[in-house]
Chain A
Amino acid sequence: MGEEMSSKPYIREISKTNWFYGQPRYMRYMAREVTCIFIFAYTFLLIWALRALANGPEAYQAFLAALNSPLGILFNLAVLVGVVYHSISWFSLTPQAMPLQRGEEFVPGNLIIGAHYGGWAVVSLIVLFLGV
């Protein structure tokens, strides 16, 4: 009896579509991956802006008018949440993605993450300073 049980492979049914549901670790992974949809969509908004820019001042004003709408506000708000989540999850992985060694010791992960947050703040402030 015992022999029979141990030789039986341990197989669980795992859903292909909602395997991550209800598991905080997997939910965080999926949230991180889904941010790419926002980045993809937003990049095409930028391309639309470039097209309008190439077509002249009237076309560009029409683009701004189309952007200035409830849908435009909602879209940009959703994208903002998505890209901020992307930044946080991306920077929090940097110690694993590029561990730094100084002598015998590894540079602490929090220091690497902190440096990225610092850089993020500087870049954001420069763009705000030049662009507003």
Chain B
Amino acid sequence: MAKSNKPIVWGLFAAGGTITAFLLPVVVLLTLFAALGMTPDLFTYEYLHAFAANWLGKLVIFGVIFLSLWHAAHRLRITMHDFGLRQDLWIATTVYVLAALGTIMTFFYLLRI
């Protein structure tokens, strides 16, 4: 029987869509405060460093970033098709490589914290 990678692709997409739906609006609101010059506690150096310094914090940050990237990359691939760009091989390669690069960068930056 032919094996399909659809369940994994879709599962990660759905997990990313769910975690971003619950978490991102409030986190973006906090970075908007920071952009306005009213940096909230979470985005001060001490707080964020303390959060990212323990393995649980690292795991949370890594999970959120990895799933957000995967979700966005997969949906962007579909969206490009919907906008009439039909070079799926190139588009898929580009978006997944960007997501993979972001994930690898996240991994190494977290290791250095």
Contact = CB atoms under 8 A, between A and B. Distances in A.
B92 interface: no
B9 interface: no
Q: Give the dominant DSSP class at B's interface.
A: helix
Given A50-B109, A83-B25, A64 B43 contact: yes
Interface residues of B, number: 54
Contact of A47 (B49, B73, B86, B102): B102
Contacts of A112: none
Interface in A37-53: 37, 39-40, 42-47, 49-51, 53
Contacts of A80: 25, 28-29, 32
B75 A42 contact: no
Contacts of B98: 40
Contact of B45 (A46, A57, A69, A90): A57
Interface of A: 15-17, 20, 30, 33-34, 36-37, 39-40, 42-47, 49-51, 53-54, 57, 60-61, 64, 67-69, 72-73, 75-77, 79-80, 83-84, 86-87, 90-91, 97, 116, 119-120, 123-124, 127-128, 130-132
17 contacts: A33-B82, A37-B76, A40-B73, A43-B65, A43-B72, A47-B65, A50-B110, A57-B45, A61-B45, A83-B28, A86-B21, A87-B25, A120-B25, A127-B26, A128-B30, A131-B40, A131-B47
